[in-house]
Amino acid sequence: MASYHIDFEPVGLRGECPAGCSLMDAARQLGVHVVSVCGDRGICGRCKVQVLSGRLSEATAAEAEALSPQELEEGYRLACQAYPQSDCKVRVPRDTLSARQRTQVEGLEISVVPEPIVVPHRVQMAPASWSDLRADSERLVGALRDESQVPCSAVDIDVLRGASGRLRDWKWEVQASVRRGEVVALGPWPTMQLVLAVDLGTTKIASYLVNLDNGETMASKGIMNPQIAYGEDLIARLARAVESPSEAARLQGLVVDGLNAIAAELCAEIGAASEDIVEAVVVGNTAMHHLFLGLPVHQLAVSPFVAAVSEPLDLKARDVGLEIAPGGYVHLLANIGGFVGADHVAMLLGSDAWRGEGLVLALDIGTNTEVALVSDGEIACVSCASGPAFEGAHIRHGMRAAPGAIEAVQLVGGEVRYQTIDGVPAVGICGSGILDAMAALYLGGVIDSTGRMGEHTGVRESQGGREFLLVSQEEAGGGAAITVTQRDLRELQLAKGAMRTGIELLLQSRGCSHEDISQVIIAGAFGSYISVSSGIAVGMLPSLPLDRFQQVGNAAGTGARLALISATKREEARSIAARARYIELNNFATFQDTFAKSMYLRQSGDATPA
């Protein structure tokens, strides 16, 4: 039987598929997870792909309905309707991918020549003897200088504490990790040098263990921020820390313990030990940064929200309780201003948004959403308190993106169609699903532009008010029915309204409109898997052609890794922070008005209500 070679990009999965298979069949065979809300019936329009080369069957009536003439012209097809008739190369937009492996550590893969700040050197020393009575540290520094031509003047005190016995155990042949003239770790030669990158989010922590020799990420892990038990948002946590020094210490301890546990787990995964980590880079918003370092936060919690420090910091990891190599450092990238911190610098670095051409809008969506507008090398940023609704919190049946979470929703002819992660019975709804649900309810006329739920067969009264039934109890595998409540919609409106306000006011500050935007970069675990079309439909995102949007995953994590691997990238981060200008949203006279308008749902992308 004839077969065709199908190449799915940019996921990079390709292989042979028998003739007669649809692109959807081919995607499934090759492990490309394409969204199918309607079960391949050609009615949801969510399996949109772009054919870059090759011949396919004629477009069907369903495709003519779901795709615009321009999209058809540009090679867009519905994967469930299109049948290859030759070898094909197909682009799968991020929007079309299902979220099976969704974690908070996914990000762009990075390729950068390692240019580490901590450099390993093999040192062979002459043993101590009656004819050579130099102290061990002098012997080590001397050998580095004379044998390896490494300018070195100091050995960290904790390294020294363990050095004498080890030098003898290792027969005077060691690997010395030298950072700017100081020995920060010793190991037997050769030892893999590891570094740890951490994106310290308000809700989630993403961490990456990187091999410094080649820049490869060896292991990664995401966990919930253990501080959540002491307040879901920044303000609540800052208030807690301001309350008493012991509460501040508790918050710091929680996050440090969490990081030590992750570091140990990641190292165990590859048969290494935390002590093999010679440096860490931690990025977070200004509040997370200050709580992690035990810095005062009172001034950050009250107007005009001033940081204690904004420049990059190099600290001994032990000074903050991080358990890595004895003399290892933790580097913190610079903060920008207000709550816009080092994580935003890392995001701009990791996504390359800071060098984008034209007018670039960069969004890092989370409990706190940072928005930057980049133009001609100038960067203006704001911070929006979008709250945890996008993470599934404060939503009646909200959950994180895990198997059974509804990740995509559509209303087709008044009937609900949905897709769960891993295709198992629905147990709740995650951020992308709730955004989709809101868009579907709005487009289906179930809610109006104020977000109010009207009369509809799916709407019912419950104790907490009106709610829309997404999944009945029977369908939910015996669990509770899954609904979207009026209160959920209000939470989402607040979240999307806060974000859109930031976008509008930034544009206003430059005298631009959303039509001037040449590229929109969306970072963050939630932002990477939302349907951009749904975001546009409810007015969360500006109404622009879909090809102007790029969803880049955890770019802050990518930026943190770059700053670990490369001294040049670390310098670029410094330069990004220096040129970024923080704008306080409350200073705009139009803030309240813009926020009120941004709460409306509408498709035009204009924040002004109809």
What is the binding site for ligand FES (CB under 6 A)? 36-38, 40, 42-47, 78, 80
Q: Which is nearer to ligand FES, 33 or 500 (CB)?
A: 33
Least Å distance, CB 80 to ligand FES, is 3
Query: Minimum Å distance from CB 43 to ligand FES?
Result: 6
Spatial neighbors of 143 by CB under 8 A, at least 6 apart, are 123, 124, 125, 126
Least separation in angstroms between residue 42's CB and ligand FES is 5
Q: How far is CA 262 from CA 258, 311, 505, in A?
A: 6, 27, 39
CB 277 → ligand FES: shortest distance, Å?
45
13 close to 32: Cβ distance less than 8 angstroms: yes
8 A C-beta contact, residue 147 and residue 154: no
Least CB distance from residue 310 to ligand FES, whole Å?
Answer: 48
Separation between Cα atoms, residue 466 and residue 436, nearest integer Å: 19
Shortest Cβ 412–ligand FES spacing (Å): 9
8-state DSSP, 79? T
- Output 248-254 pairs: Cβ under 8 A, ≥24 positions apart: 248/291, 248/294, 248/297, 249/294, 251/227, 251/291, 252/291, 252/292, 252/293, 252/294, 252/320, 252/321, 253/321, 254/226, 254/227, 254/230
Q: How far is the CB of 398 from ligand FES (least distance, A)?
A: 25
For residue 430, give Cα distances in angstroms to 39, 455, 519.
20, 25, 26
Task: Give the residue with the Cβ less far from ligand FES, 37 or 345.
Answer: 37
> What DSSP designation does 275 have?
G
Nearest CB to ligand FES, comparing residues 46 and 597: 46
Supply the minimum distance, in Å, between the C-beta of residue 597 and ligand FES. 34
Residue 287: partners with Cβ closer than 8 Å, 6 or more residues away: 202, 234, 237, 238, 297, 300, 339, 341
Of 34 and 210, which CB lies nearer to ligand FES in the complex structure? 34
* For ligand FES, the closer CB: 91 or 166: 91
Residue type, 49: V
In the complex with ligand FES, the residue whose CB is nearer, 78 or 152, is: 78
Cβ nearer to ligand FES, comparing 37 with 482:
37
Residue 313: name the closest of 570, 576, 581 by CA.
570
Cβ proximity to ligand FES: between 22 and 594 the closer is 22
Q: Rounded to the nearest whole angstrom, what is the least distance from the CB of residue 374 to ligand FES in the complex?
A: 36
d(CA 19, CA 87): 10
> Closest Cα partner for 328 from 274, 261, 262, 268?
274
Distance CA 281, CA 565 (A): 10
d(CA 34, CA 80): 10
200 contacts 255 by C-beta, under 8 angstroms = yes
Closest separation in Å from C-beta 40 to ligand FES: 5
**Which lies closer to ligand FES via its Cβ, residue 40 or residue 136?**
40
Judged by DSSP in three states, 44 sits in coil
CB atoms within 10 A of CB 304: 10
In the bound state with ligand FES, the residue whose beta carbon lies nearer, of 160 and 408, is 408
